[in-house]
Structure 1
Amino acid sequence: MTKKVGLIIGSTRPTRISPSIARWLQAQVAQPELAVDLLDLATINLPFLNEPAMPADHHYEHASTQQWSALVQSYDAFILLFPQYNWGYPAPLKNALDTLYQEWLGKPVSLVSYGGHGGFQAALGMQLVVRGLKMPLLTNNLQISLQKSWFNADGQFTDVDLALAPYAAEARQLGAELRHKLA
């Protein structure tokens, strides 16, 4: 039976590079018995913490929260992809996590951060968040260090496959770990 992994794109900036990284990562991690779907927070209608009740109560009044809850429940594990912003993670990703609670419990998660120095500080902060959500952190968590030479004048990858090639083996190991963990 095929297991489902949700790869959440945590940046919503108009000039973001995360969709390119996400498609590359999806291709590296996916396997015949492991489907990896891209969940782009830029296209998911998720207002900022607008529910009157605490997420742990699981009483959702708004259709946007109910839809997000159903989507998250449909996955067996998650990969969170996010850049480092001022040593932290993006607010839309934190909002997406904080909007729910029970839906995340026990679901394995990998953190894939990127930035000038791999997004280490953002990943460190996110580790505390997923621990609070009772999500088991996988051992394979990529930290992608960006180099200016990888990008064109518009700030987009000139060749994402070439740029991220040094991370391919680690990404494939993540796929193998997910397959083993979800078997």
Structure 2
Amino acid sequence: MTNPKIGIIVGSTRPSRIGPSIADWLQKQLKTPHLDVDVIDLAQIDLPLLDEIAMPSDGHYELEHTKNWSRLIQGYQGFVLLFPQYNWGYPAPLKNALDCLYSEWRGKPVSMVSYGGRGGFQAALALSLVLRGLKFHRLSTNIEISLKPADLDSHGHFKAPNQALAPYEFNVQQLSAEFQHVLTD
């Protein structure tokens, strides 16, 4: 029997983003002998803005990039959406990636890991409405990472990611346990 697969979707595509370093750390923390975890970077996926003719809820995809995105997402049993807060909202590439599909998300467990100067609460609040609409199974463990200027270099990247993210290890362990409980029971 294969382990359930969780996809960490990196929701920011900015060239100077800190998301990939958080995703790498999350992946190491979430992975267990009973849970496989991959990073799905939207900057590498490079989805165009909603360019399918039919509504995603129809499930009729004509464009190859949408079919590929659908196949990729169908290979996962759950997701962590990792995103920064931009002006109290979440990044447009993440919204686009979610909106390109519909039934592929239905019923799958999801957690939000937001980050920003104050943790990204407003962005997570806004995204939670979208997750309801897409019929995700929203997990109770969601993490807000507050970025502290002392932990960042002049380019906005972590000086020492493991040290800066250490306060969130317990929360990630709780998330891992919740995924295991939901996906193996």
| TM-score, reference length from structure 1 | 0.99
> Unmatched 5+ residue regions in structure 2?
none
Asked if 1:140 corresponds to 2:141, the answer is yes
Q: Over residues 47-66 of structure 1, what are the superposed CA-to-partner deviations in whole Å (9 max), with x where a residue is unaligned?
A: 10000000001111110000
- Corresponding residue of 1:35: 36
Partner of 1:60: 61
Residue aligned with 2:66, SS: helix
Q: Is 1:122 aligned to residue 101 of structure 2?
A: no
Provide the C-alpha distance between the structure 1 equivalents of 2:156 and 2:150, rounded to a whole number of angstroms.
Answer: 10
What code does the residue aligned with 1:97 have? L
**Whole-angstrom CA distance in 1 between matches of 2:61 and 2:47:** 13
Deviations 1:113-134 (A, max 9, x none): 0001100000001100001000
- Give me the identity figure in percent: 59
Whole-Å Cα distance in 2 between the matches of residues 122 and 153 of structure 1?
25
Deviations 1:128-169 (A, max 9, x none): 000100001101100001100111122210000000110000
- Tell me the distance in 1 between the aligned counterparts of 2:36 and 2:20: 17
CA distance in 2, matches of 1:90, 1:141: 17
| 1:84 partnered with 2:85 | yes
SS of corresponding position for 2:9: strand
Determine helix, strand or coil for the equivalent of 1:42.
Answer: helix
The one-letter code matched in structure 2 to 1:106 is G
Cα deviation for residue 45 of structure 1 reads: 3.0
CA distance in 1, matches of 2:156, 2:82: 18
- Ranges in structure 1 where 5+ consecutive residues have no aligned partner: none
Residue of structure 1 equivalent to 2:100: 99
Q: SS of the residue aligned with 2:7?
A: strand
| Partner SS for 1:109 | strand
Code of the aligned partner of 1:122:
A
CA distance in 1, matches of 2:91, 2:126: 11
Matched with 1:167 is: 168
1:153 aligns with 2:182: no
Distance 1:173 1:30 in 2: 12
Q: Deviations over 1:38-92 (max 9, x none)?
A: 0000000311000000000111111000000000011000000000000000000
SS of residue paired to 1:52: coil
Regions of 4+ moved over 3 Å: none
Q: Distance in 2 between matches of 1:176 and 1:6?
A: 16
Alignment-derived partner of residue 109 in structure 1: 110
What RMSD over aligned residues (CA atoms) do the two structures have, in Å?
Answer: 0.6
Secondary structure at 1:154 match in 2: coil
TM-score, scaled relative to structure 2: 0.98
